[in-house]
Structure 1
Amino acid sequence: MTHAPTHAESRFDRGQRALSRIDGKAGEKVVASLADIAPDFARYVIEFPFGDIYCRPDLGLRDREIATIAALTALGNAAPQLKVHIEAGLNVGLSRDEIVEIIMQMAVYAGFPAAVNGLFAAKEVFAAQDGQQASGNAT
């Protein structure tokens, strides 16, 4: 469940905790990859979306990931971010079937090309996870 922001905990600490829970290693890799080119931006990624928005109390993490997967699918040009959030959706309790349905729903509002691209992104994430599980590297 989400946590209401507290005054004792910094935005960064709250964001780090949320990022780790939601995106796991995939999110940490994104932040780390930004650290050498734009360390301030890497910090903003932790503080604003994860420290401020994801930690708001009135919407659960599962619902937030449904919205995020739908939005990134609809954009049609954010495959790397979509893949991270497909993993995040799985991390917070979405099933593969639910993720596929979320993406298919976007065909109505964002068009078939966006939905097809989203489905291919999901296929890649699922295959990568299956490969990790088969090799014993699942977390």
Structure 2
Amino acid sequence: MNERFQRGAARQAELGGPGGIRGRVYGQLADIAPDLHRFAVEFAYGDIHSRPGLDAGRRELVIIGALIALGDTRPQLEAHLGSALNAGVTPGEIVEAVLQALPYAGFPRVLSAMTVARGVLAARDLLPLTDSIAQ
């Protein structure tokens, strides 16, 4: 393993580990694209996500917004919603971040993203949101 991969793997571990959803996605593609996982760890986490300037929670909110705008990113959105929670982003902040994408990404993508967020929050027994959490 090179230094970029080690740095990226360490960053992934900080945010909840390389397993789970990320591991399943890359594992399903290992027989056809074995380097894809390495590229993601080295570039996305080793080079970009490890940069200074934003804390992990803010960085995850930016990523969530980008994934919502792209659409059709359910596995990645699930992973990054989980990472956001692991980085200290509150459930209410996640809901608000998804809502902030509405004027830019549109109702279909925000409704899809909110459905994914609901699933992630439910899996962690964080629903229903109370008024104090959602504020």
What range is the shorter-chain TM-score in? 0.7 to 0.9
Q: CA deviation at 1:29?
A: 3.6
Cα gap change, 1:90/1:68 in structure 2, threshold over 3 Å: closer, same or farther? same
What amino acid sits opposite 2:4 in the alignment? R
Report the TM-score, using the length of structure 2 for normalisation.
0.83
Partner of 1:11: 4
Deviations 1:9-54 (A, max 9, x none): 7001001101111242333443434333312111101100000001
Matches within 5 A, 1:84-99: 84-99=79-94
State the number of aligned residues. Answer: 123
Q: Quick one: distance in 2 between partners of 1:19 and 1:30? A: 15
Flag structure 1 segments of 5+ consecutive residues without an equivalent. 1-8, 132-139
Q: Quick one: distance in 2 between partners of 1:21 and 1:32? A: 20
Q: Which moved more, 1:58-67 or 1:18-27?
A: 18-27
1:123 partnered with 2:118:
yes
Aligned residues with identical type, % of pairs = 42
Partner of 2:14: 21
Q: Quick one: distance in 1 between partners of 2:46 and 2:5? A: 6
Cα gap change, 1:30/1:19 in structure 2, threshold over 3 Å: closer, same or farther? farther
Flag structure 2 segments of 5+ consecutive residues without an equivalent. 127-135
Q: Quick one: distance in 1 between partners of 2:124 and 2:61? A: 19
Indicate which of 49, 53, 63 corresponds to 1:58.
Answer: 53
Report the TM-score, using the length of structure 1 for normalisation.
0.81
